[in-house]
Amino acid sequence: MPRRSPNPHTAAGERILVTASRLFYERGIRGVGVDLIADEAGVTKKTLYDRFGSKDELVAAYLTRRRERWNAWFGERLAARVAAGARPGAEQVLAALEISEEWAQDNARGCAFVNAHAEIGGIDHPGNAVVLADKQYMLGVLTDLLRQAGHPGAERLGAQVHLLYEGAMVAHTTRAQPDAFVTAREAARALLAPPA
């Protein structure tokens, strides 16, 4: 009998995805098996596989949902800062770093995409494309904020600020630097200052 195509768009599929998302973020992808997810979601393993096809596809769905949530949350807050008067260029970039710090403070295990990449990166896994898309999104946002302000060298500076953002996220998570985002903003401010 041919296998059904995965169909996560059901009440059971939603319960599975919500449960898996919580468990993957709290315990790590490798630390969570499909038995636990099915049990906590109140479904059978067969239902889980009918909805998602495999654990790898469920991981990709978790990362996709997390990415959508992050993009919406971040976009709303950045739009609010712009509406409140944050000027194009350095001011909006610094606002983006402040917003990212708010997210990091509410997500104690750090960046879900960095965490996932540590577990699945370097192998042929459907979640890798979602991780890359997340990183490209933030690089694009930071670069666009500089480009829209007519900042010379926007692509290069956007890439440099993106590294500050990523480094702050990891340093904050590991507690290597408790004020990682403050330091990142100071470095970005110096980097984006007009030449004397």
- Identify which has the larger pLDDT, 3 or 118: 118
80 lies in the same domain as 145: yes
Q: Region 131-154: what's the mean pLDDT?
A: 95
This prediction has a pTM of: 0.91
CATH of the domain at 16: 1.10.10.60
pLDDT tens digit sequence for 59-112:
999 999 999 999 999 999 999 999 999 999 999 999 999 999 999 999 989 999
Structural domains of the chain, count: 2
- Of 66, 67, 92, 62, which is closest to residue 77 (Cα–Cα)? 92
pLDDT at 21: 97
151 lies in the same domain as 69: yes
Tell me the C-alpha distance between 169 and 180, whole Å. Answer: 8
CATH of the domain at 69: 1.10.357
92 lies in the same domain as 31: no
| 152 pLDDT higher than 90 | no
User: How far, CA to CA in Å, does 170 sit from each of 101, 110, 140?
Assistant: 11, 7, 19
Helices (H), 84-153: 90-106, 112-120, 127-148
Query: Can you give the residue range of the structural domain that contains 137?
Result: 60-192
pLDDT at 6: 55
pLDDT tens digit sequence for 163-191:
999 999 999 989 899 899 999 999 999 99
